[in-house]
Structure 1
């Protein structure tokens, strides 16, 4: 440190009066006023949603080229066997098939659809009550007749259908729902909001969730602060407490990480997690016991904005919001 503008070095050497060892440096000014943030490493931009693309803010350039996937080998390749457009008035961010009906979400709107994609019932979540819930990234079945919806900030709501709500109950459910408090409930036994605590995934948003019936699994997505981390978090459904976290082992190309993926959806089948990456159009099949990617599957580049994956009638279905429409593809 010296007289201005010589404010010192980033890594200063020890003090000396010998001119031979005195270093006059303006290094301390470098980058001082760039990207100022009082949040520090918490200054993570919102993830990419179907209704709110975020490529530029995140500093991620998405592509649909399987050759750019981080995996050294692709084991299988899916082909489209059917394509249909879902006439839904919002960009669908999540879609699943639960208990013989489709469950769709867009931001804080949730809709239950029949097999012809007609809306049967739905609600609009109040995201700011109690534990603030960021836009919904997944909905899973819970305790036979209930559901869990998850926000990208790892806050959640346990809710259930409530077709015969009394006037008293409708008033009680007002807290959780802007619309639909006469048909759904988020207050009561086995219901309510909460926040999940993670360790390795603490400073990362999640964009996908799945369950094996005993645990729920979340996967991180890269962001403007961290483009390399990929963590699977495992949470017990009994008490919603973290049971474990891991970065799956995988056979990767030199210099690549699983952070090259952008997993927007996951589904669980036969003991394995199918993690859908909209980036590079690849599905990573993960064994949660071995904590390893055991298979990689490519899907067609014509699916340009993959948002959801699920199995129906034994076949993989992928939902993509592209060209202003919700496209559902069946693949084999």
Structure 2
């Protein structure tokens, strides 16, 4: 019996800890005194705490029953998810930035997650002292417990704090169907400054339950993006074409590769091609693209996770940098003398005895953080890639990364030089860049859509010239300059094809 008395006393203190602690402080001190008004998600967190406390009160009154435990566990689990979902909007901000009042430099939404974590831990500790058999014997006649003073105090505290929250919610958020603003003004009792609003009309407006992160897989060489219809008629291009490229020759690339080619780069020093394939393969071949010198297959799951290879380049120090579509990159070095197969096991599925892993990392962006990329090139002290449009948004962002420390150095949508004119009521976001090349300090962006190549001046951040390439190239994936000619690789008809343009 003593264990049961302790159980209900501990449950009472748990209710007091939640209601007189975070719920009362948020309501009375933050709300009435400091003027903090919860947003919709914050109200959900606070209501979850009240429901958790209510579940504990049911246990105090009616005994330890599975349905009450289930209620506490499920609501706490939802509260943890809600807290981290809320935090996710601000987690990548700089220090001190965010929403809601900080306590010890941690904003209230994450404190809510800590509270729910504590609820589950405390619940586990309390259950360790429960005597279910005796508990059932006590409740067999009355079906409820007679409350002690501490039990009654927990009930009173619950009712007072819940009522106070209901008053604040009614004043600031309004009755149903109003849900409180997404970013509310400070709390006040003056109705002049209170406006009731609802997020319900927009609750199901997003294309996916994942919201802004519901971005579909980008277009891959062997997997067409299901949200795009590609147009190979250059006359429909958003920009007027200044130069037409003519086809010199074409051939099939008959190499034994693990998947279609997604990027190429010619190394003048070694007279070799470095090839990236869709499924994490990197191959070094001869200039004629008919003989493989060596290769590797990257372990994409080894931290950080890397989606399909997008493009490749050879750095000034002869290291090879490969970019994934999720802006995660790997830097490797061909060094069969110093390569350690055991050390490289975590990095490479194949090629650990030939290559050394220098770095594998991700870099964060701001304007393009919900966009994939399908291109990459290194020019001087910087690496460049360009966002591709998604099923949620069409934007064209040139991303500039420092080759010195790997940190984002700039993001911009290029402007148009005076000689470049728009047409067809389209924008740069209608292009789909699948490859990047460099020549004479300029960037050349290969668009699969509208068979266009955009020449970008990275110093002035302008598009200075536009090129068209033949419509027979229907799945352009890679571009580079070789012997003064433009080489484009396209995966079509189940084959990698090389097109040389003048």
Structure 1 stretch 62-71 or stretch 98-107: which is displaced more? Answer: 98-107
Query: Contact 1:51 / 1:92 at 8 angstroms: preserved in 2?
Result: no
How far, CA to CA, are the matches of 2:413 and 2:208 in structure 1?
A: 31
Is residue 2:242 matched to residue 1:93?
A: no
Please report how far the alpha carbon of residue 141 of structure 1 lies from its aligned counterpart in structure 2 after TM superposition. 1.5
How far, CA to CA, are the matches of 2:423 and 2:179 in structure 1?
A: 38
Q: 1:218 aligns with which of 373, 380, 385?
A: 385
Query: Contact 2:386 / 2:399 at 8 angstroms: preserved in 1?
Result: yes
Please report how far the alpha carbon of residue 97 of structure 1 lies from its aligned counterpart in structure 2 after TM superposition. 1.0
Query: Contact 2:274 / 2:313 at 8 angstroms: preserved in 1?
Result: no
Match of 1:19 in 2: none
Is residue 2:418 matched to residue 1:247?
A: no
How far, CA to CA, are the matches of 2:373 and 2:202 in structure 1?
A: 33
Structure 1 stretch 215-224 or stretch 204-213: which is displaced more? Answer: 204-213
Query: Contact 2:311 / 2:478 at 8 angstroms: preserved in 1?
Result: no
Q: 2:426 aligns with which of 241, 252, 256?
A: 256
How far, CA to CA, are the matches of 1:271 and 1:33 in structure 2?
A: 44
Match of 1:156 in 2: 329
Please report how far the alpha carbon of residue 245 of structure 1 lies from its aligned counterpart in structure 2 after TM superposition. 1.2
Query: Contact 2:455 / 2:464 at 8 angstroms: preserved in 1?
Result: yes
Match of 1:3 in 2: none
How far, CA to CA, are the matches of 1:306 and 1:238 in structure 2?
A: 31
Query: Contact 2:315 / 2:378 at 8 angstroms: preserved in 1?
Result: no
Query: Contact 2:276 / 2:322 at 8 angstroms: preserved in 1?
Result: no
From the CA coordinates, give the structure whose radius of gyration is larger. Answer: 2
Is residue 2:277 matched to residue 1:70?
A: no
How many pairs were matched up?
A: 302
Query: Contact 2:377 / 2:385 at 8 angstroms: preserved in 1?
Result: yes
- Normalised to the residue count of structure 2, the TM-score between the two structures is 0.57
Match of 1:23 in 2: none
Match of 2:355 in 1: 184
Q: 1:286 aligns with which of 456, 459, 475?
A: 456
Please report how far the alpha carbon of residue 28 of structure 1 lies from its aligned counterpart in structure 2 after TM superposition. 4.6
5+ unaligned residues in a row in structure 2: which ranges? 1-175, 182-198
Match of 1:21 in 2: none
The structure where helix makes up a greater share of residues is 2
Please report how far the alpha carbon of residue 200 of structure 1 lies from its aligned counterpart in structure 2 after TM superposition. 1.0
Secondary structure (helix, strand or coil) at the match of 2:405 reads coil
- Specify which structure has the bigger relative contact order, considering alpha-carbon pairs within 8 angstroms and separated by 6 or more residues: 1
Query: Contact 1:7 / 1:29 at 8 angstroms: preserved in 2?
Result: no
Secondary structure (helix, strand or coil) at the match of 1:206 reads coil
Secondary structure (helix, strand or coil) at the match of 1:243 reads strand
Query: Contact 1:10 / 1:28 at 8 angstroms: preserved in 2?
Result: no
Is residue 2:283 matched to residue 1:114?
A: no
- Normalised to the residue count of structure 1, the TM-score between the two structures is 0.85
Query: 1:81-123, CA deviations, whole angstroms, 9 ceiling, x for partnerless residues?
Result: 1111100343211122124211112221111111232111001
Match of 1:268 in 2: 438
Please report how far the alpha carbon of residue 213 of structure 1 lies from its aligned counterpart in structure 2 after TM superposition. 2.5
How far, CA to CA, are the matches of 2:331 and 2:308 in structure 1?
A: 15
Query: 1:226-245, CA deviations, whole angstroms, 9 ceiling, x for partnerless residues?
Result: 12x10001111111111111
Is residue 2:292 matched to residue 1:133?
A: no
Match of 1:105 in 2: 276
The structure where strand makes up a greater share of residues is 1
Secondary structure (helix, strand or coil) at the match of 1:132 reads coil
Superposition RMSD in Å: 2.2
